[in-house]
């Protein structure tokens, strides 16, 4: 997308058309006050900016419509954009006219009419230069919303106003305005290609996948919980159906029979309660007796459990006492055996020794042997008691299971009694409503049954795993570390060109590594003493030079990589630092030799980049400079001196 023409429409149908050459250096030179700086504001206004910053004076007083003609492709495809000046006492407008066509030419004033707003203008023009759907999502905890890069963000990379190109703190167009700096940080990675073309689509898919995974996980958890409690629910619901007369008064415990009975209860005609009072009473007594019986069983189980616990505790104390006695007697093993047969089988010839001192005894002492026998008996008793403990633990677990089952049955019985109480206390109409309510509960409960069998649970589990895998795969593709690496790689490539161009312009620190810092939106020179941002590099010459080098390097990368950014760079007064006097401005040639050399180097750099990238890149410069070189004269499209200006004199005279 390159600028072919800029057109001004006067109220009396006269037009002022400025033509530019695509794929080349275009220079508009002239004195101060001739309207050179207004060209940039008009171009920005025609690119969809709502605010019209055209200076108050001859231009705003004589021009009714501002228009631009753009070359979109080399096959002749063009876009015509026209914007009416804002209404009186207003500085902004959101209306525009947009037309596309092959070899399109600007229409006359009477044919101009608004057919689009600025938002759609940027969207449609952006689509024509391949700005795809995209989205920059701020990090976790950020308060700002997601941002989609559009033509308005791309234009920020194509314009450099007079106050910006010589600034030591503002690198990009409108960077000092609220929110623009963050918008640049968010959108430049997309324009550089560090963001995948389908990232916006994948992020939308990731959001959907996360919602799907969360929904399936919830369903799976509910299904698991239902599977664990469904038998109790069916029993309680069947008791309620019996209480309201939707099924026969028959005790059922099997799940299949319960389901069959509840399915029949959904469609069966209810029993007439007017003749059912006796049966109700019988049902109440049956349920009450059943609850009492279950309560007695529960008390018995809990008493047995208490006895078992007390027995275990007593056994533990007894075992402890036995073990202590066993420890005392164990020292007897230090003594030798009392009997020493001396290899004689006859007891009469046997000798007996004292177990303590070993002296000969005429008669044996029975005490040591008795103590040894007591020790062995104690060991046997401790072993028997220890072996019985596993049986105690199993019995205790069985009692706990029985108690839990009895509690559930008591709860179901009590719910049935409560339902029967409610039914007996209301009128027949209310009972009918209760029966309808019970039917609804039956429908809801039976509808969940399909999720409780093993097959359904397994299918749901597999769906959850698949959803989680989809989320993980998309998160890997949208990995922030990979995105940072992609961005760093591209900024390094841009930095190499910045360094080369700064060396050509002989800027300060150009011998060092120079890079574009996207976090601070400035140029950084990595010196031996540490990083030096542009704000710490002195002189206006260096500020202008690094602006020029950075934007040319950036557009070289964007053009060579065919990125979706307009293929033009518009600069207003890039040589202002070299024109200190009014005489220099009028002549277009600095008096100082050093200034003339610096100005020539700047325009040579712009010319060389335009020639290298031709026919895909256009440079438009509005400046005081008017050098004598032939190549410079060939690049001059308009020379506004000695009365020549953007707005013709006859327009001003007629107003």
Mean pLDDT of 336-354: 48
pLDDT of residue 511: 83
Q: How confident is the model at residue 28 (pLDDT cuts 50, 70, 90)?
A: very high
Q: Evaluate if pTM is beyond 0.95.
A: no
240 vs 246: CA distance, rounded Å: 9
> Sign (positive/negative) of CA torsion 298, 300, 303, 304?
negative
| Count of structural domains within the chain | 2
Q: Inform me whether the pLDDT recorded for 13 exceeds 80.
A: yes
Query: Which of 436, 463, 490 is the endpoint of a domain?
Result: 463
Element (H or E) spanning 620, and its range? strand 618-623
- Above 80 in pLDDT, residue 168? yes
pLDDT > 90 in the chain, percent: 39
Q: Please check whether residue 247 is in contact with residue 238, taking contact to mean a CB–CB distance below 8 angstroms.
A: yes
Residue with the bigger pLDDT between 448 and 241: it is 241
Q: What is the pLDDT of residues 382-419, one digit of tens each?
A: 555 454 455 566 777 788 888 888 888 888 888 777 77
Please give the average per-residue pLDDT across 236-261, as a whole number.
69
Residue 357: the pLDDT is: 66
CATH, residue 23: 3.40.50
Q: What is the mean pLDDT of residues 316-335?
A: 57
Band the pLDDT of 345: cuts 50, 70, 90.
very low
- For every residue of 449-516, DSSP letters joined together read GGGTSHHHHHHHHHHHHHHHHHHHHHHHHT-HHHHHHHHHHHHHHHHHHHHHHHHHTT-TTTTSEEEE
Residue 272, pLDDT > 90, answer: no
Chain mean position to CA 273: 60
pLDDT at 66 over 80: yes
Stretch among 132-136, 372-376, 572-576 having the lowest mean pLDDT:
372-376
The sheet with strand 513-517 has its strands ordered as: 513-517, 522-527, 530-533
136 or 4: which leads in pLDDT: 4
pLDDT tens for each residue of 274-310: 444 566 667 777 877 888 888 888 888 888 877 776 6
| pLDDT tops 50 at residue 610 | yes
- Whether 431 has a pLDDT exceeding 70, the answer reads no
Given this model, what pLDDT does residue 588 score?
59
Which residue from 290, 236, 234 is spatially nearest to 257, judged by alpha carbons? Answer: 234
Peptide bond into 615 cis (omega under 30): yes
pLDDT of 491-521, one tens digit each?
999 999 999 999 999 999 888 889 999 999 9
> Are residues 372 and 232 located together in one domain of the fold?
yes
- Residues paired with residue 621 on neighbouring β-strands, in sequence order: 27, 571
The pLDDT assigned to 341 comes to 40
Say whether pLDDT at 555 is over 80.
Answer: yes
572 pLDDT exceeds 50?
A: yes
If one compares 17 and 146, the residue with the highest pLDDT of the two is 17
Contact 16, 647 (CB under 8 A): yes
Please check the confidence at residue 338 and state whether its pLDDT lies above 70: no
Of residues 354 and 273, the one with the higher pLDDT is 354
Give the contacts of 532 (CB within 8 A, at least 6 positions apart). Answer: 509, 512, 524, 525, 526
Least confident stretch, 160-174, 249-263, 565-579, 604-618: 249-263
Mean pLDDT of 89-112: 93
Specify the pLDDT at position 273: 44
> Is there a single domain that holds both residue 379 and residue 244?
yes
Structural domain includes residue 43 = yes
CA angle 558–562–563, rounded 5-degree value: 60
100 shares a domain with 227: no
The answer to whether residue 197 sits within a structural domain is no
307 or 50, greater pLDDT? 50
Q: Which one is predicted more confidently, 582 or 54?
A: 54
pLDDT in tens, 446-486: 666 655 566 777 888 888 899 898 888 877 777 667 778 88
Domain co-membership, 240 together with 91:
no
CA dihedral 579, 582, 585, 589 (to 10 degrees): -70
Are 109 and 228 members of one domain? no
Q: How many CB atoms lie within 10 A of CB 481?
A: 7
Write down the mean pLDDT value for the chain.
80
Backbone angles phi, psi at 536, to 5 degrees: -110, 10
Any domain includes 501? no
- Answer with the residue of higher pLDDT: 61 or 335: 61
- For the cut 90, the answer to whether the pLDDT of residue 616 exceeds it is yes
CA-angle at 105, arms to 100 and 108, nearest 5°: 110
Q: Is the pLDDT of residue 77 over 60?
A: yes
Is residue 395 located within the same domain as residue 246?
A: yes
Q: Please say whether the beta carbons of 192 and 495 come within 8 A.
A: no
Does residue 627 fall inside a structural domain?
A: yes
Domain co-membership, 240 together with 381: yes
Query: Does the structure show a pLDDT above 60 at 583?
Result: no
Confidence category of residue 342, pLDDT binned at 50, 70, 90:
very low
Single residue among 463, 481, 506 that ends a domain in this structure: 463
Identify the pLDDT of residue 5: 97
Residue 74: exposed, middle, or buried by beta-carbon count in 10 A (0-12, 13-18, 19+)? exposed
The tokens describing 446, both together, are 């039976």
- Same domain for 107 and 244? no
Residue 343 has pLDDT above 90, yes or no: no
- The secondary structure element, H or E, covering residue 289 is helix 277-329
Mean pLDDT of 515-538: 90
The highest-confidence range among 323-337, 490-504, 523-537, by mean pLDDT, is 490-504
Backbone φ/ψ region at 509: left (φ over 0), alpha (ψ -120 to 50), beta: left
CA 52 from centre of chain: 37
Confidence (pLDDT) at 558: 97
Residues 229 and 111 in one domain: no
Write down the pLDDT at residue 414.
81
Strands 15-19 and 2-10: antiparallel
Supply φ then ψ for residue 283, to 5 degrees: -65, -40
Residue 390 sits in which domain range? 223-463
Q: Are residues 305 and 438 in the same domain?
A: yes
Report, as an integer, the average pLDDT of 426-443: 67
Give domain status of residue 122, yes or no.
no
> Which range is most confident: 341-355, 437-451, 556-570, 639-653?
556-570
| CA 225-226-231 angle, 5° bins | 120
List of residues 6+ apart from 646 with CB closer than 8 A: 8, 16, 18, 34, 35, 36, 38, 39, 59, 640
Query: Can you tell me the mean pLDDT for 184-188?
Result: 91
641 within domain boundaries = yes
- The predicted structure's pLDDT at residue 560: 96
Check pLDDT > 70 for residue 23: yes
249 lies in a domain?
Answer: yes
The answer to whether the beta carbons of residues 32 and 585 sit under 8 Å apart is yes
Rg (CA), the chain: 48
**In terms of domains, do 97 and 232 share one?**
no
Percent of the chain's residues with pLDDT above 70: 71
Residue 371 or 260, more confident: 260
Query: Does 227 lie in the same domain as 94?
Result: no
Higher pLDDT among residues 423 and 214, named by residue: 214
The verdict on residue 327 lying in a domain is yes
Q: Which of 463, 483, 512 lies at the terminal end of a domain, its last residue?
A: 463
How much is the pLDDT for 289?
A: 82
């Amino acid at each position: 997308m390159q600028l072919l023409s800029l057109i001004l429409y006067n109220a009396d149908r006269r037009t002022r058309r400025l033509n530019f050459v695509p794929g080349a250096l275009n220079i508009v030179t002239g004195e101060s006050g001739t309207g050179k700086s207004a060209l940039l504001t008009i171009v920005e206004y025609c690119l969809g900016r709502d605010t019209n910053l055209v200076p108050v004076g001859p231009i705003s007083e004589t021009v009714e419509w501002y228009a631009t003609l753009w070359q979109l492709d080399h096959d002749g495809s063009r876009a015509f954009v026209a914007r009416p000046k804002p209404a009186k006492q207003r500085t902004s407008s959101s209306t525009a006219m947009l037309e596309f066509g092959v070899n399109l030419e600007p229409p006359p004033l009477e044919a101009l009419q608004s057919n689009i707003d600025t938002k759609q203008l940027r969207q449609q023009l952006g689509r024509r230069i391949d700005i795809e759907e995209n989205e920059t999502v701020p990090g976790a905890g950020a308060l700002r919303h997601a941002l989609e890069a559009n033509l308005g963000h791309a234009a920020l990379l194509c314009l450099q106003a007079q106050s910006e190109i010589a600034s030591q703190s503002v690198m990009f167009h409108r960077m000092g305005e609220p929110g623009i700096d963050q918008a640049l940080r968010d959108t430049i990675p997309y324009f550089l290609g560090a963001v995948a073309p389908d990232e916006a689509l994948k992020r939308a898919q990731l959001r959907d996948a996360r919602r799907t995974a969360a929904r399936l996980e919830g369903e799976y958890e509910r299904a698991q919980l239902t599977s664990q409690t469904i038998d109790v629910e069916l029993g309680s619901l069947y008791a309620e159906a019996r209480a309201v007369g939707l099924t026969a008064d028959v005790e059922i415990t099997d799940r299949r029979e319960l389901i069959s009975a509840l399915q029949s209860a959904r469609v069966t005609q209810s029993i007439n309660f007017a003749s059912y009072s006796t049966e109700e009473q019988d049902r109440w007594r049956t349920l009450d007796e059943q609850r009492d019986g279950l309560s007695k069983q529960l008390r018995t189980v809990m008493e047995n459990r208490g006895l078992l616990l007390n027995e275990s505790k007593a056994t533990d104390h007894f075992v402890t006492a036995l073990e202590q006695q066993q420890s005392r007697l164990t020292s007897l093993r230090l003594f030798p055996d009392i009997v020493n047969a001396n290899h004689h089988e006859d007891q009469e010839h046997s000798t007996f020794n004292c177990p303590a001192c070993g002296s000969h005894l005429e008669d044996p002492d029975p005490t040591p042997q008795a103590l040894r026998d007591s020790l062995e008996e104690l060991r046997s008793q401790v072993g028997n008691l220890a072996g019985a403990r596993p049986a105690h633990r199993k019995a205790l677990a069985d009692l706990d299971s029985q108690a839990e089952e009895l509690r559930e049955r008591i709860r179901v019985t009590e719910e049935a009694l409560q339902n029967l109480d409610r039914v007996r206390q209301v009128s027949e109409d209310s009972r009918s409503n209760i029966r309808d309510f019970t039917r609804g509960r039956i429908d809801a409960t039976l509808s969940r049954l399909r999720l409780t069998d093993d097959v359904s649970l397994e299918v749901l589990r597999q769906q959850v795993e698949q959803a989680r895998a989809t989320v993980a795969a998309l998160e890997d593709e949208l990995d922030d570390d990979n995105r940072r690496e992609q961005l760093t790689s591209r900024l390094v490539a841009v930095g190499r060109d910045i360094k080369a161009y700064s060396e050509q312009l002989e800027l300060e620190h150009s011998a060092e590594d120079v890079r574009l810092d996207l976090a601070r939106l400035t140029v950084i020179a990595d010196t031996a003493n540490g990083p030096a941002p542009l704000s710490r590099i002195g002189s206006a010459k260096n500020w202008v030079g690094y602006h020029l080098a950075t934007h040319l390097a950036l557009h070289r990368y964007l053009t060579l990589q065919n990125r979706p950014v307009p293929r033009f760079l518009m600069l207003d007064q890039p040589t202002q630092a070299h024109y200190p006097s009014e005489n220099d401005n009028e002549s277009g040639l600095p008096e100082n030799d050093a200034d003339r050399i610096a100005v020539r180097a700047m325009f040579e750099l712009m010319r060389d980049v335009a020639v290298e990238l031709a026919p895909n890149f256009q440079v438009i410069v509005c400046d005081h400079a008017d050098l004598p070189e032939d190549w410079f004269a060939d690049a001059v499209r308009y020379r506004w001196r000695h009365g020549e200006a953007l707005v013709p004199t006859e327009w001003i005279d007629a107003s």
